[in-house]
Amino acid sequence: MIRINSQDSQLEQYKSDFLENGIVRINNFLESEDASLLSDFVRSQVEFTNAFFIDNENKEASDKQIGELSAEQRRSLYMSIYQNAAQGVGFLYGRQKINDTSDEPLKELLSRLNESSTLSLISAITSQSSISHADGQVTRYRVGDFLTRHVDDIPGETREIAYVLGLSPQWHADWGGLLQQYSLDGTPEKSWAPAFNTLTIFNVKKVHSVTSIAPFAPESRYSITGWFRR
């Protein structure tokens, strides 16, 4: 069973921080034992599909499909991905959408995020009264994976508030994978290292990226991400 901790004692501080910065981190979001079990499951049981941008398209391929490419084909694939990224466009990371066919721990987490108490909490912190539901995906960033600078506010979408639930038990900022915030002109501002069992929520108009995972990082960066939507 996955349980979300009460945030009543911190609510006013979270509201103030979000109003000032458009982003806030909710520490100890889940019961500690539940967070550890969910993290263990994600790191050992989830099969990820690699998402990337190439030939002006968002594409996906499994580890098996990439592994079946020749060495030259793999080199060409990654070179194309990195060339796009050098121009400020692109991403490379593993993901699995959470839906009705997902494994029980993932479905249960998404169900907890969609409970009225959780939606009310997020609405209260962000002053977004139109929030009605949340979606989610599990993400994995391995060495070299990244997400270039962008905003999540996409025309035609119903995204209001983005979220990241950190599931890496130990992470050093030098390993990369930072949630980096930018001003509208691209100047780097604040950054946040992955933090275990911390729910980071931020306005979808915020310019942000996930910095590349360093070649010396001893493990991958895991999280559950998505949007609270209207």
Pick the closest to residue 222 from 99, 96, 111 (CA basis). 96
Global pTM reads 0.97
At 160 the pLDDT is 98
- Band the pLDDT of 36: cuts 50, 70, 90: very high
At 19 the pLDDT is 98
The residue ranking higher by pLDDT, 1 or 107, is 107
CATH homologous superfamily for 8-46+96-229?
Answer: q2cbj1_9rhob like domain (2.60.120.620)
At 149 the pLDDT is 97
Per-residue pLDDT reduced to its tens digit, 15-27? 999 999 999 999 9
Q: Report the sign of the C-alpha dihedral through residues 28, 143, 210, 189, in that order.
A: positive
Q: Tokens 């079946």 appear where? A: 68
At 189 the pLDDT is 96
Region 21-34: what's the mean pLDDT?
98
Per-residue pLDDT reduced to its tens digit, 107-149? 999 999 999 999 999 999 999 999 999 999 999 999 999 999 9
**Mean pLDDT computed over every residue of the chain:** 97
% of the chain at pLDDT higher than 70: 100
Region 220-225: what's the mean pLDDT?
98
- Band the pLDDT of 31: cuts 50, 70, 90: very high
At 87 the pLDDT is 95
Domain map (residue ranges) of the chain? 8-46+96-229
- Band the pLDDT of 2: cuts 50, 70, 90: very high
At 175 the pLDDT is 98
Per-residue pLDDT reduced to its tens digit, 55-86? 999 999 999 999 999 999 999 999 999 999 99
At 41 the pLDDT is 98
Q: Return d(Cα 134, Cα 227) in angstroms, integer.
A: 6
Taken as a whole, the chain contains a residue count of: 230
Burial of 52 (0-12, 13-18, 19+ CB in 10 A): buried
Pick the closest to residue 135 from 155, 165, 156 (CA basis). 165
